[in-house]
Structures are given as C-alpha cells and as structure tokens.
Amino acid sequence: MSFHIRDRWFALCGIASVAVEFGGAFVQLGRNDTHSLTWQSSTASIARAFSHHATTTVWIGAYLEVISMGLFLAFALWAARTLGGGLVGSIASAFAVANVAVSMVSLALLDSMAYLAGHALPVSTERTLVTVNGATFVTTWFLTAFFLLALAQLALAASRRVIGWSAAGIAAAILVATAADPGNLGQLANTLSYVWIVGTSIALVRREPRRAVTPAVA
C-alpha cells in the first residue's frame, strides 16, 4: 500500500470518527433516557430516566460511540506523525490516548447507568453515577484541548498555519468556555474540535502547493 493511499485511509478514519460519533449520539439520545442526563439535571429528571429499562437503540448508539473512539485514535496518531512527530508528536499522541481512555470510562459509566435503569436504585446512587460520569466527560474536554495545543505547535513548525492556528484557537476556546461554564459553553466549544478533525483530515491528504523557485543569478 502506497503512503498516499494509506494517508487517505487515516484521513477517512478522522472523518468517519466524527460521523459515527454524532450518529451514535443521535441514535441513543432520548428525552427520557439516562444518556440525556448531566450533572445539572434535576432530581425529578434523573428519577424519570432511571425508572424504565434502556431500549435497543441506546445500545446501538453506545456501540457506535465506542467504534468512533477507535477511529479517532487512528486519526490522532497519524496526524501527529504526519505533522512532524518527534517529542511534541509523542506528547500529542499521549494526550490522544489519554482522551480515548477517559472517554471509554465515561462511555462505560453511561452504559452502566443504562443497564441499571429500571432496577429501582436509590436516587442518591443515581445522582452519584450521573455526577461521576459528568466529571469524566468534562475531563475529556481538557485532554482534547491539550491534544490540540500540541498539534498546533507541530503544524506551525511544519508551516501548516491554518491547521495550527485553528487548533490553538479551538483549544483556547475549550479551556476558557469550560472554566466559565462547564456545561453548555464547554460542550459547545468542544464541538468545534469535531469540525477541526474533519477539516484537518481533508487538509493533510491534499498536496502542498509548490512554491516558485527563483533561479540563482551567476
């Protein structure tokens, strides 16, 4: 397999990770399901979501979200290597791995909540599960920001200014928004990273424009 074809496959992993993630979230997100709960949810909303068993669509959506994590990791490691690798690339890769690991914990908590729904749990236990999941979910936003900051340095060093500055800008937006409002604003800012993944996936497989070379005068 040529390097160009391989790069296309990794870029496709990046685009697919976003599509599968949003597809999984859309499939499993129900108004009265446990996957719709956040740590800002009222006690009544939590009790209502836990009052009935999870539907099949919830498990299909959860399965898709796990697949999206694998696709994202393939893209992230490829992007770090393509933009230069080295020490900074290793740091970016480490943040990507950590992001996927914590995301998997958050997904496992969500699935545990869905599995336990309909089993008459105490409301205090339900609230604890929702809060712990919320904390792990917010942690992934910080890991995303750190990953983007590392890749921004790599991209700028490789003269990929659009990729670099957009990554730095989104990382800054995630950190500021999460500090100001770790609910709506933080999640909205983190959504920008998905747009960046799609754009970067496309940009990294496009050939760099050739610069005109002025012949030296003897």
Domain ranges of the chain: 3-203
pLDDT confidence of residue 152 = 96
Q: Please write the tens of the pLDDT for every residue from 45-61.
A: 888 888 888 888 888 88
Tell me the C-alpha distance between 28 and 214, whole Å: 58
* Closest C-alpha to 83, from 142, 167, 16, 13: 167
CB count in 10 Å sphere of residue 191:
12
Question: Which residues of the chain are modeled with pLDDT < 70?
Answer: 1-3, 29-32, 207-218
Locate the DSSP E strands across 115-202.
none
207: alpha, beta or left? (left if phi > 0; alpha if psi -120 to 50): beta
Percentage of the chain beyond pLDDT 70 is 91
Among residues 153, 140, 154, 152, the alpha carbon closest in space to that of 97 is found at 140
